[in-house]
Amino acid sequence: MEQILNSKQSTFTYSIIVSQVISNVPATMLLSGFTNSVRELLLGVNIGGLGTLIASLASVISFKLYINEFPEESNKYLKSFTFYNILGLAIIIPLIYLILFCI
């Protein structure tokens, strides 16, 4: 893991990716022991809270609350949620990357 997270750019990138699979809080805990790039890690996992439903435990909780109230709309909610979160990632990642590493 230390070899993977050996730069600020890779820490930023992989923290977003790992957040999509195991959620952003566990990703922070997992990756924090392998990098000194704290700022990039924290920005990556915060941005990584967007994207998949799993990316943020708060999103999972809100989804569960929503489908308890409106079970027939779960697919519609999930499609809209995923679309807007992926769109948010697609807009925010390049902007933050430019600010962090190119300016």
Note whether residue 92 is domain-resident: yes
Q: Under 8 Å CB-to-CB from 35, ≥6 apart: which residues?
A: 2, 5, 11, 41
What confidence score (pLDDT) does residue 65 get? 97
- pTM equals 0.91
Note whether residue 67 is domain-resident: yes
- Tell me if 35 sits within 8 A of 8, measured CB to CB: no
First-to-last alpha carbon distance for the chain, in angstroms, is: 28
Full residue range of the structural domain in which residue 63 is found: 8-101
Q: What tens-digit pLDDT sequence spans the chain (103 residues)?
A: 899 999 999 999 999 999 999 999 999 999 999 999 999 999 999 999 999 999 999 999 999 999 999 999 999 999 999 999 999 999 999 999 999 999 7
- Tell me if 62 sits within 8 A of 69, measured CB to CB: no
What confidence score (pLDDT) does residue 67 get? 96
Residue owning tokens 């909780």: 61
Note whether residue 1 is domain-resident: no
Number of domains present in the structure of the chain: 1
Amino acid residing at 80: S
